[in-house]
Amino acid sequence: DQQVKQNSPSLSVQEGRISILNCDYTNSMFDYFLWYKKYPAEGPTFLISISSIKDKNEDGRFTVFLNKSAKHLSLHIVPSQPGDSAVYFCAARSNSGYALNFGKGTSLLVTP
């Protein structure tokens, strides 16, 4: 049962524009939400996270927004750069568990 869903398998954005990656979840017990970036032949790399008590967290070009009532979060990348081209995974965890629940990922392509 997929508790974290990324419904867009791929996204293409022009360099300099905004990339918006979306994620939905079904488990209202999740307390932390994270985004990971993955290049081919490498393991996922932690990007940014947000606690369920917040609705926004910003780190440089990356901002994560959380809408708890809609069980939805999004990752905004502004401005997008060709080096941002990668697969982005959304993940979530509850306070009582150790496991991260991952979505299937969205492949982002930033074109020059």
* Nearest alpha carbon to residue 61 among 47, 39, 77: 77
For other proteins, give the closer residue by CB, 13 or 50.
50
- With beta carbons less than 8 A apart as the criterion, state whether 48 and 32 touch: no
Strand partners, 91: 34, 102
Q: Count of residues binding other proteins (CB under 8 A)? A: 29
Residue closer to other proteins (CB basis): 85 or 101? 101
Least Å distance, CB 56 to other proteins, is 13
Could you tell me which stretch among 11-19, 42-50, 67-75, 78-86 binds other proteins (CB under 8 A)? 42-50
Shortest Cβ 20–other proteins spacing (Å): 19
Binding site for other proteins (CB under 8 A): 4, 6, 31-32, 34, 36, 41-47, 49-51, 57, 89, 91, 93, 97-105
